[in-house]
């Protein structure tokens, strides 16, 4: 029997487990290891709580977790509780599906002031990520700024702008729902360092902004090239740009505003001991389509600054790392002998949840080609791992524990909400009597 370890239980990890289970049938055992006692990574902690239809893909992962050769081992941090080298001793192959949970840095003065936070932190806070339960973002000022023109920037701006009523049916955690309901923020400025033709926002996500209960998107027609130039855009981007153009004709008749400030590069964040404003340089497009500063500076008030400029994969001891690309150094997913990466840890932080499916299947095919079903002596696998963890006092959790935690979360949900997540690992373990 082959023994495989997948590190990380987000979409990339689960698609790879599905593919390996199909490729090997009963000839392999697959352990999905996660830092937390509950799985699904990006689905649980990243996908916006008001986008429940996107989270529904976890039903497919449930079926994988329920299948015979697949197991879940939670509450184990690889790199701290057990090393990758030790996993390679215990398993025939190790597949890193650790995602990209860290914020990229802006690299500008003032980014460490209180009130400046990364999107991973903010998204984690409203999604019940245990690392960010105490974030307490400052929502007492009237102005906030979100830096970046991708879908994560849209998520952050939308969550800051929705009413309590608009979160019905979502699984936003109670602490965030209450804080957002008290928020004084009336203007959210979204800073893009380039123009409307260079956005990384998709039509569905952008379109939602035109229908918010209390907030209206504001764009300046002067930022757009002539409409005839839209014809050359790829269809998805063209649709997004058409939506943006449409926003220019919306009446600004709601109490809140979401202002798209294009050609705006953040230069520094200023304030007396905390963020109060961001200094921005007006840009223009250079010959290669990049942002070139014009020297014109102006200020945007902001007691809260969220940088949504992309994510990075944290390095792991002994694993080759691509510093520039912020992912593991790999060739088509192969990092080295019996060691692979999938998802954002392989490709960097881009693409949708579905992009991880072909990615995981491709790596599983490589694994299957390199490691045919085994006759003879097996590696230590889960039994070996669990005994090593016990000797170190690490309290690993299992599939039944995950389901018990989930049952409590469902039972404690607000009416209409699918769950009320535990926001602390101690509370998850407490539910298990540990």
Which residues of the chain form contacts with ligand NAP (CB under 6 A)?
106, 147-153, 155, 193-194, 198, 200, 202, 205, 266, 308-311, 349-352
Looking at the Cβ atoms of 186 and 204, the one nearer to ligand NAP is 204
Q: Which residue, 55 or 256, is less far from ligand NAP as judged by CB?
A: 55
Report how far apart, in Å, the C-alpha atoms of 143 and of each of 49, 263, 306, 340 are: 23, 19, 12, 44
Rounded least distance, CB 342 to ligand NAP, Å? 16
CB of 396 to ligand NAP, least distance (A): 30
DSSP 3-state of 336:
strand
Write out the two tokens for 323: 């510093």
Instruction: Write down the least CB distance from residue 362 to ligand NAP, Å.
Output: 18
Contact 143, 301 (CB under 8 A): yes
28 vs 306, beta carbon nearer ligand NAP:
306
Q: List, in sequence order, every residue forming a beta bridge with 284; answer none if it has no partner.
A: 292
Least distance between ligand NAP and beta carbon 400 (Å): 32
At residue 99's C-alpha, the angle toward residues 107 and 428, to 5°, is 110
Structure tokens at 14: 């689960």
Query: From the CB of 188, what's the least distance to ligand NAP, in Å?
Result: 15
Instruction: Name the residue with the smallest CB distance to ligand NAP.
Output: 150
Q: How far lies 251's CA from each of 153, 224, 227, 280, in Å?
A: 23, 19, 21, 27
Rounded Cα gap, residues 166 and 256, in angstroms? 14
Of 70 and 146, which CB lies nearer to ligand NAP in the complex structure? 146
Give the nearer residue to ligand NAP in terms of CB position, either 84 or 300.
300
* Residue 165 Cβ vs ligand NAP, minimum distance, rounded to whole Å: 21
What is the spatial distance between Cα 341 and Cα 95, in angstroms, rounded to a whole number? 5
202 or 366, CB closer to ligand NAP? 202
Alpha helices in 308-414 (DSSP H): 344-347, 356-370, 381-391, 399-411
């Amino acid at each position: 029997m082959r023994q495989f370890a997948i590190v990380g239980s987000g979409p990339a990890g689960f698609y790879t487990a599905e593919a390996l289970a199909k490729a090997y049938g009963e000839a392999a055992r697959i352990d999905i290891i996660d830092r937390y006692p509950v799985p699904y990574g990006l689905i649980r902690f990243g996908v916006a709580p008001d986008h429940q239809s996107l989270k529904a893909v976890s039903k497919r992962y449930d079926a994988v977790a329920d299948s015979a050769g697949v197991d879940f081992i939670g509450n184990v941090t690889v790199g701290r509780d057990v090393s990758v080298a030790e996993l390679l001793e215990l398993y025939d192959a190790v597949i890193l599906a650790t995602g990209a949970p860290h914020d990229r840095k802006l690299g500008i003065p003032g980014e460490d002031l209180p009130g400046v936070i990364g999107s991973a932190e903010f998204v984690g806070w409203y999604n019940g990520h245990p690392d960010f339960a105490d974030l307490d973002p400052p929502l007492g000022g009237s102005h906030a700024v979100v830096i970046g023109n991708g879908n994560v920037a849209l998520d952050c701006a939308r969550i800051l702008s929705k009413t309590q009523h608009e979160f019905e049916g979502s699984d936003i955690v109670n602490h965030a729902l209450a804080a957002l309901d008290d928020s004084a923020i009336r203007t959210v400025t979204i800073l893009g360092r380039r123009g409307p033709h260079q956005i990384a926002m998709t039509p569905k996500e952008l379109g939602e902004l035109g229908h918010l209960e209390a907030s209206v998107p504001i764009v300046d027609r002067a930022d757009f090239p002539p409409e005839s130039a839209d014809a050359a855009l790829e269809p998805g981007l063209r649709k997004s740009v058409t939506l943006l153009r449409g926003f220019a004709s919306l009446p600004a008749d709601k109490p809140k505003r979401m202002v798209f400030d294009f050609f705006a590069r953040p230069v520094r964040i200023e304030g007396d001991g905390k963020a109060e404003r961001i200094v921005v340089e007006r840009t223009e497009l250079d010959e290669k389509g990049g942002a070139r500063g014009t020297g014109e500076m102006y200020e945007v008030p902001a007691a809260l600054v969220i940088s949504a400029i992309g994510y990075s994969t944290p390095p792991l001891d002994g694993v080759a790392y691509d510093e520039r690309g912020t992912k593991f150094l790999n060739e088509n997913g192969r990092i080295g002998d019996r060691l692979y990466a999938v998802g954002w840890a392989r490709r960097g932080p881009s693409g949708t949840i579905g992009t991880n499916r072909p990615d995981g299947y491709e790596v599983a095919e490589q694994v299957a080609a390199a490691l045919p079903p085994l006759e003879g002596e097996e590696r230590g696998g889960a039994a070996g791992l669990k005994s090593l963890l016990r000797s170190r006092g690490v309290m690993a959790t299992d599939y039944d524990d995950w389901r018990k935690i989930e049952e409590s979360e469902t039972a404690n949900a607000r009416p209409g909400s699918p769950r009320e997540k535990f926001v602390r690992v101690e509370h998850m373990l407490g539910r298990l009597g540990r």
